[in-house]
Amino acid sequence: MQSFDIVRETKPKKSFRVASVMGKYDLRSEHIIEKFKGDIDLDCEWQIGIIVGHSGTGKTTIAKELFKENYIDKFKYKSESVLDDFDKNISVNDICKIFNSVGFSSVVSWLKPYSVLSQGEKMRVDLARSLLDNKELIVFDEFTSVVDRNIAKIGSYAIQKNVKRTAKKFIAVSCHSDIIEWLEPDWVFDTNQMKFKYTRGLLRRPEIKLDIFEIRGYWERFRKYHYLNYDINHASKQYVGFINDIPVCFCGILHFPHPKIKNYKKVTRLVVMPDYQGIGIGNRMLKYIAEYYINKNYRFGIVTSTPALIEHFKNNNKWELKNYGRNNTQTKGSTVGNMKVSKNRLTTSWEYVNS
């Protein structure tokens, strides 16, 4: 049991303006004393918790008092690429792996400075850095506070999935209660009422409804998030997935002529918007489209070098590995900035099997 009885007194310097306001509103020094008292039961079995409440109810004060060794506020970012903001002793492979695991899977964005990332991407980079820290407990303040609420919910779900794959414990500190079901915490401490509630196994996130349509005209919205970043074949069939009428994922399909394989369809582009990565949307879209073509007596495959996709395919008996190796050809237009990203790229080839 973590008990606290915190008294915080603010003593502003008696300037002319301070004295004027205190006199005008008849304020005394005791009016700016804050008291926070309560209990958080951490003796129970848990991995994720949340301290939540309105502004001014003591969330940050309590978090710093109880978990000052594990409290995370702000990281410093000075490099021209977020990759270089991580500790030099951390390998590139480990950084890429943690980026993918927290749903920050847009390789192009890895090369950008932190300052130009979206708020949702910044939150995931911060989390990635905290997860690579040696601390067993992470206390993350201002969690989802500055992001769109839909993105906050999606991000909370992606983050809890990742934390539960580790042995770490995670405490979110937030002024927003709308993320609680999405984060699925084992306990909730409400600073509005100073009450603790054990919620392990009691919370379930709302269903994510993904509407998929065959529709053209959306590639321009998605192309800059694709790691090869070039035009799509005009002969392709194009599918877009929507959540709450927002386009969140894109899949392009081409007929693949092959002397030995008939009726073969191949994925030519698969993109998920950065703020919606990490929750399996791309995998859901692939499954839906694959089964659509399989039911029409086509064979269906994909070539990818994306670690998150490869890991998903390895653990899914619907996908069969057909080839593993390096791409020795340079595809026209396949660049990120001045970097060539297609030639000598390690790729895997997979086919969807209806078994």
Domains in the chain: ranges and CATH = 37-198 (3.40.50.300), 211-352 (3.40.630.30)
Distance in angstroms (rounded) separating the CA atoms of residues 184 and 337: 39
Residue with tokens 């991580």: 86
**How far is 148 from 144, CA to CA, in rounded Å?**
8
Does pLDDT of 228 surpass 70? no
Report residue 332's pLDDT band, with 50, 70 and 90 as the boundaries. very low
Predicted confidence (pLDDT) at residue 330 exceeds the cutoff of 50: no
Q: Give kind and range of the element (H or E) at residue 247.
A: strand 246-255
Tell whether the model's pLDDT for residue 189 goes beyond 90. yes
| CA–CA–CA angle 146, 150, 155 (5° rounding) | 70
Average pLDDT over residues 346-353: 90
pLDDT score, position 335: 43
202-220 confidence digits (pLDDT tens): 999 899 999 999 999 999 9
With a cut of 50, say whether residue 309 has pLDDT above it: yes
- Whether residue 281 contacts residue 253, with contact meaning beta carbons closer than 8 Å, is answered with no
Q: Which pLDDT score, from 0 to 100, does residue 105 have?
A: 82
pLDDT tens digits along 86-145: 999 999 989 988 888 888 888 888 999 999 998 888 888 998 998 888 889 999 988 888
Strands 319-327 and 299-304 turn out to be unpaired
One-letter amino acid for residue 60 of the chain = T
- Averaged pLDDT for residues 238-260: 92
Q: Which of 209, 198, 75 is nearest to 138 (CA)?
A: 75
Q: Is the pLDDT of residue 259 over 60?
A: yes
Q: Say if CB 50 and CB 174 are below 8 A apart.
A: yes
